[in-house]
Amino acid sequence: MDLTVEPNLHSLINSTTHKWIFVGGKGGVGKTTSSCSIAIQMALSQPNKQFLLISTDPAHNLSDAFGEKFGKDARKVSGMDNLSCMEIDPSAALKDMNDMAVSRANSNGGDGQGDDLGSLLQGGALADLTGSIPGIDEALSFMEVMKHIKRQEQGEGETFDTVIFDTAPTGHTLRFLQLPNTLSKLLDKFGEITNKLGPMLNSFMGAGNVDISGKLNELKANVETIRQQFTDPDLTTFVCVCISEFLSLYETERLIQELISYDMDVNSIIVNQLLFAENDQEHNCKRCQARWKMQRKYLDQIDELYEDFHVIKMPLCAGEIRGLNNLTKFSQFLDKEYDPVADGKVIYELEDKE
Amino acid sequence: MHWAAAVAVLFVVVTKFLQYTAKYHDKWISQMAPGTELSKKYLVKMKERHELKEFNNSISAQDNYAKWTKNNRKLDSLDKEINDLKNDIQSQNKAFQGHLHKLRLLTITVPFFVFKIVYGKVPVYKLSSSTSALFPTFVTGVWSQGWLYVILHPLRTISQKWHIMESRFGTAKFDAMALQGVSLGIWVWALMNVISGLEFIINQLFLAPQMEPPATVETQAEKIVDILDDAVILD
């Protein structure tokens, strides 16, 4: 039996089981380019399925990467029928929640009390208040996942077979992935309290007729579903992105160890911005040669450390990898590994987007 | 010395020895505890961790990234193992301490208590009638019969006054009880009080940290201006 691991993402790109694919790493290593590339390759190889690429990074780049504007609602990428993108915008989502609260307060507010609440929330007071809570971006991304699961269960609206997350730098992502566990524990504690105080809490909420324990149980069931799906290697995987430099590798190692501790599947590393300078003799750039020597040193270490991982070595291109065409050209090396000799010319062939 | 007094002194010595050496008990227990094997393993792991940490500090992470990272992984797993071992040792020690506590209760505390109950009235030494006569009956009664005499004393007064229960609690019989000497219960009580008094004095004189005298801050209000001269200078 051949136990060697392919240096590409062919198996993931053609996977029919994966529902959630996370792409993450240190800032500035090419997470967005890699997530767009994975999404494009999956969409191309499985044209009958629908894919959604969500950016959970507060500093969104999807619109820049594709050269078109995406918002908080999923919108199809121009030129692709089965790939949609969305950028979760915490401030816009909070503004929506605020507006909903205002309209609810106004509709209830024949007695003057509602008017007071409505006027208090006018001008986005709720958004201002909740926007400053640490981790709100991750919480909103998590809510988006929950909405997506609910839609799929109920068969409402547009459903997607696979969701690819272009995540924020490591710290944010780890907090996001910790949320199911944290929420699960929190809801267990809450459950204990509501079991004891349930009738009293419900009578407090009497006017609104909100069944708190019922809502909590529903939320708990949703969180548990997400937790199970995130820890199922057939459904969820994490693709680490890094560059061949010490700090990036160090953060990748930290990320991998954390993900393993969450029982999440992680078996792919994309190493971006490689120079492959020995095959680029015609330009004979001394600086590139020296830098490539350093990159090779770390590549050897990666091969030694992650021998059971798919390590995909991606070239540094001459131009910016922006727009669907450029991304498609670049992304082919995820499906079939980049050969510096045969594919060397591709890195100079990217269209200029300006 | 009366044999009962000797046994009581033995109990007191053992109790006090255990009290004074309390801070060393954990150390002794860790050496005696059945988790010694675990402790040895713990020390080996700690040594291994220390060596790994030293090695990792001695090499350049940039030049030996793979080795450095592998060592870090080993360190992480060692930390986990060490933590588990620590928990195991602690739970074993706790169980062992529980057994020792029971053993102490069964071999020292309870027997001493029972001994005091059973032999509490045994006179450890007699007082001559002339010596007894120096003290009031109430005091000699407490010496010979213990603190129960304090409670029973009103009965003596009642029986003396109303001439009831002559046969059982007659004043003569009651007073005769007061002439038996000093009982073991009172003798042990006195001994313990003397020891604790000595402990207090030694502690206050030699062991307790010396308190600094309170610093005096001279406030504006407390400042007293002495008028030494009552001469008034006129313009």
Would you call B73 an interface residue with chain A, using a CB distance cutoff of 8 Å?
yes
Three-state DSSP string of chain A: CCCCCCCCCHHHHCCCCCCEEEEEECCCCCHHHHHHHHHHHHHHHCCCCCEEEEECCCCCCHHHHHCCCCCCCCEECCCCCCEEEEECCHHHHHHHHHHHHHHHHHHHHHHCHHHHHHHHHCCCHHHHHHHCCCCHHHHHHHHHHHHHHHHHHHCCCCCCCEEEEECCCHHHHHHHHHHHHHHHHHHHHHHHHHHHHHHHHHHHCHHHCCCHHHHHHHHHHHHHHHHHHHCCCCCEEEEEEEECCHHHHHHHHHHHHHHHHCCCCEEEEEEEEECCHHHCCCCCCHHHHHHHHHHHHHHHHHHHHCCCCEEEEEECCCCCCCCHHHHHHHHHHHHCCCCCCCCHHHHHCCCCCC
- Which member of B62, B72, B73 has the closest CB to residue A246? B62
Specify which residues B123 forms β-bridges with. Answer: B183
When pLDDT is cut at 50, 70 and 90, the band that residue A7 belongs to is very high
Tokens 């094997």, residue located: B37
Average pLDDT over residues A52-57: 86
Tokens 């995909």, residue located: A312
Classify B193 as helix, strand or coil.
helix
Task: Say if residue A28 carries a ligand binding annotation.
Answer: yes
Would you call A250 an interface residue with chain B, using a CB distance cutoff of 8 Å?
yes
Tokens 């708990």, residue located: A220
Q: Phi first, then psi: give them for residue A160, nearest 5 degrees.
A: -125, 145
pLDDT of residue A123: 57
* Residue in A287, A262, A272 with CA at minimum distance from that of residue A27: A272
pLDDT exceeds 70 at position B222: no
Closest CA of chain B from A240, distance in Å: 17
Do A19 and A161 meet the contact criterion of CB atoms below 8 Å apart? yes
Helix, strand, coil % in chain B, rounded to nearest 5? 75, 0, 25
Classify B14 as helix, strand or coil.
helix
Do A312 and A299 meet the contact criterion of CB atoms below 8 Å apart? no
- C-alpha to C-alpha distance for A211 and A263, rounded to whole angstroms: 34
- C-alpha to C-alpha distance for A157 and B31, rounded to whole angstroms: 69
Is there a contact between B69 and A257 if contact means CB atoms under 8 Å apart? no
A103: left (phi over 0), alpha (psi -120 to 50) or beta: alpha
Q: How many CB atoms lie within 10 A of CB A136?
A: 16
Identify which has the larger pLDDT, A185 or A194: A185
CA distances from B186 to A296, B2, B8, B11, B112 (A): 89, 14, 12, 15, 14
CA A272 from centroid of its chain's CA atoms: 18
Task: Say if residue A285 carries a ligand binding annotation.
Answer: yes
When pLDDT is cut at 50, 70 and 90, the band that residue A142 belongs to is confident
Q: What is the DSSP letter of B61?
A: T
Identify which has the larger pLDDT, B4 or A334: A334
Q: Which of A57, A89, A166, A335 is catalytic?
A: A57
* Residue in A338, A253, A265 with CA at minimum distance from that of residue A304: A253
Structure tokens at B83: 């933590």
Label the pairing between strands A236-243 and A266-274.
parallel
Would you call B76 an interface residue with chain A, using a CB distance cutoff of 8 Å?
yes
Closest CA of chain A from B78, distance in Å: 14
pLDDT exceeds 60 at position A206: no
Rounded to the nearest 10°, the torsion over CA B55, B58, B63, B64 is 0
* Residue in B72, B63, B74 with CA at minimum distance from that of residue A246: B63
Average pLDDT over residues A253-282: 90
Question: Is residue A115 among the annotated active site residues?
Answer: no
- Which member of B65, B70, B76 has the closest CB to residue A249? B65
Is there a contact between A246 and B65 if contact means CB atoms under 8 Å apart? yes
Label the pairing between strands A51-55 and A162-166.
parallel
Partners of B78 on chain A (C-beta within 8 Å) are none
- C-alpha to C-alpha distance for B99 and B32, rounded to whole angstroms: 12
Task: Say if residue A27 carries a ligand binding annotation.
Answer: yes
Task: Say if residue A16 carries a ligand binding annotation.
Answer: no
Identify which has the larger pLDDT, A19 or A121: A19
pLDDT of residue A248: 95
Lowest model confidence (mean pLDDT) among A40-44, A283-287, B75-79, B178-182: B178-182
CA distances from A200 to A190, A196, A203, A219 (A): 14, 9, 5, 20
Would you call B26 an interface residue with chain A, using a CB distance cutoff of 8 Å?
no
Would you call B40 an interface residue with chain A, using a CB distance cutoff of 8 Å?
no
Average pLDDT over residues B62-87: 93
Classify B182 as helix, strand or coil.
strand
Identify which has the larger pLDDT, A143 or B97: B97
- Mutant choice from B56, B59, B60, B62 vs A, greatest count of A C-beta within 10 A: B62
Please determine, for the modelled complex, whether the ipTM score is greater than 0.85.
no
CA B12 from centroid of its chain's CA atoms: 12
Task: Say if residue A30 carries a ligand binding annotation.
Answer: yes
Interface of B with A in 133-192 (CB under 8 A): none
Is there a contact between A246 and B61 if contact means CB atoms under 8 Å apart? yes
Classify B58 as helix, strand or coil.
helix
Classify B123 as helix, strand or coil.
strand
- C-alpha to C-alpha distance for B152 and B164, rounded to whole angstroms: 15
Would you call A44 an interface residue with chain B, using a CB distance cutoff of 8 Å?
no
pLDDT digits (tens, 9 = 90+) for A245-257: 999 999 999 999 9
* Residue in A222, A217, A182 with CA at minimum distance from that of residue A198: A217
Kindly write down the DSSP assignment for every residue of B203-231, as one continuous string.
Answer: IIIIISPPPPPPPP---TTT---------
Partners of A305 on chain B (C-beta within 8 Å) are 65-66, 69-70
pLDDT exceeds 70 at position A258: yes
Is there a contact between A257 and B65 if contact means CB atoms under 8 Å apart? no
pLDDT of residue A151: 73
- C-alpha to C-alpha distance for A143 and A56, rounded to whole angstroms: 11
Do B12 and B188 meet the contact criterion of CB atoms below 8 Å apart? yes
pLDDT exceeds 80 at position A58: no
**Closest residue in A to B76 (Cα–Cα):** A257
When pLDDT is cut at 50, 70 and 90, the band that residue B53 belongs to is very high
Is there a contact between B72 and A253 if contact means CB atoms under 8 Å apart? yes
Partners of A246 on chain B (C-beta within 8 Å) are 61-62, 65
- Which member of A257, A300, A304 has the closest CB to residue B76? A257
Interface of A with B in 135-174 (CB under 8 A): none
Would you call A73 an interface residue with chain B, using a CB distance cutoff of 8 Å?
no
Is there a contact between B61 and A250 if contact means CB atoms under 8 Å apart? yes
Q: Which residue type is seen at A173? A: T
- Mutant choice from A305, A307, A308, A311 vs B, greatest count of B C-beta within 10 A: A305
- C-alpha to C-alpha distance for A114 and A174, rounded to whole angstroms: 40
Identify which has the larger pLDDT, A68 or A113: A68
Kind plus residue range of the DSSP H or E element containing B175:
helix B171-177
Is there a contact between B69 and A253 if contact means CB atoms under 8 Å apart? yes
